[in-house]
Structure 1
Amino acid sequence: MISTARLFLEPVTPEDAGEIRRLAGDEAVARSALNIPHPFEEGMAEAWINGLKPGDVVLAIRQKGEDTLIGMIGLIRDEENDSAELSYWIGRPYWGRGFAGEAANAVVEYAFRSLGLNRIFATTLSRNSASIRVLEKAGFAPEGCLRRHVKHWGQFEDLLYHGLLRAEYEEEFGEDRQ
């Protein structure tokens, strides 16, 4: 488990499936994320949880003092290259409170300090300015734009890549991230 000032992040479990379906199934959440289906049908969350690979770090985001899932964050690892893709989403009732940034900072620190990763990257739809801000505040740098690269909800969209190297992280944040 990873703990921050307001959150605790712990491995997702099958018991989280109902809350994942409810929160991620919100049209606004699914519209802003590349890989969340809409409608989010019965059984999809369970299938996703059961399909996770052992090396991946997929965590439920919960507020301290409550046991309610408010979002998800994860690292899909490429162990051969000591890298991972960061992804996250926050349920709409919890938007605008800085939870995504707080969780992202904690997972980035965990990735570099505990997992020993060399690089973390993330992709966002170019119109998702909130997610871009989360990545920039966590130290990620823009790496490129794949123009009209993905078809999301019937529309071709640009996909932005952001990345962060361990050396950059250590230079900027040293031993004290928080």
Structure 2
Amino acid sequence: MQPVFETERLRLRPFELTDARTVQELAGDLAVARTTLSIPHPYTLEAAEQWLTACIGRKDEGDGYPWAMVIKDSNQLIGCMSLNITRPHNHGELGYWIGPPYWRNGYASEAAQRLVRYGFEDLHLNKIWAAALSNNQASWNVMRKTGMALEGEFKQHILKWGQYEDVVFYGMTKGDYEQLTKQTI
């Protein structure tokens, strides 16, 4: 069973099929599609429903944990924070998107820090990593705030909308995490 987490301002809960319309509206924004590796534009309601069905299936199989990011005070869904697990290598990929009305509020960093803690302390992962388009500085700032370090940049790594884009990779090992938590105690 996928846990529900609460941070200072957020509740991270499993997605439900009833979230489809809000997911379509938020993730369907051109600004979100422009800054992510794989969200298409336009993003239809049918695509959102298919994505949510896949999320629920991955959660049940234990290899992917997508959480709906919800503001506690208003119960407003604002985005997604996920931890996708590769069991044979004992690592997880942190992925996320937030609807533009909620950008620049620190929500992604707040949620990411909670999931990094979950990944290392509860799932006992050896490594957590994340990737972003190299021109998406807001995304790699989130990675840095979790304690991840730049591991490299892959030049022209993906083809997005007819143009090759560079991708940056950030990561943290369990040892890095333990060292970081010792420093903050």
TM-score range with shorter-chain normalisation? Answer: over 0.9
Confirm or deny that 1:13 pairs with 2:21: no
The reply to whether residue 61 of structure 1 matches residue 69 of structure 2 is yes
Structure 1 residue 120 corresponds to structure 2 residue 125:
no
Partner Cα separation in structure 2 for residue 172 and residue 77 of structure 1: 22
How far is 1:174 from its partner?
3.3
Distance 2:11 2:166 in 1: 33
- Cα deviations by residue, 1:78-99 (Å, 9 ceiling, x for unpaired): 0121111110011100001000
Match of 2:92 in 1: 84
Q: 2:162 aligns with which of 154, 157, 164?
A: 154
- What is the aligned partner in structure 2 of residue 102 from structure 1? 110
Which runs of 5 or more structure 1 residues have no equivalent in the other structure? Answer: none
Q: Give the whole-Å Cα distance in 2 for the aligned partners of 1:62 and 1:136.
A: 22
Misfit runs of 4+, over 3 Å: 174-177
TM-score (norm 2): 0.92
| Residue matched to 1:44 | 47
For 2:34, the aligned partner's letter is R
Q: Distance in 2 between matches of 1:160 and 1:81?
A: 21
Q: Match for 2:26 among 8, 23, 28?
A: 23
Which runs of 5 or more residues in structure 2 are unaligned? none
Q: How many residues get paired? A: 177
The residue number in structure 2 matching 1:141 is: 149
Q: For residues 65 and 100 of structure 1, what CA distance do their matches in structure 2 show?
A: 17
Distance in 2 (CA, whole Å) between partners of 1:82 and 1:122 is: 15
% of aligned pairs identical?
41
CA distance in 1, matches of 2:132, 2:69: 20
Q: Which is richer in helix?
A: 2
TM-score (norm 1): 0.96
CA distance in structure 1 between the aligned counterparts of 2:181 and 2:147, rounded to whole angstroms: 9
CA positional deviation for 1:176: 6.2
Q: RMSD value over aligned CA atoms?
A: 1.3
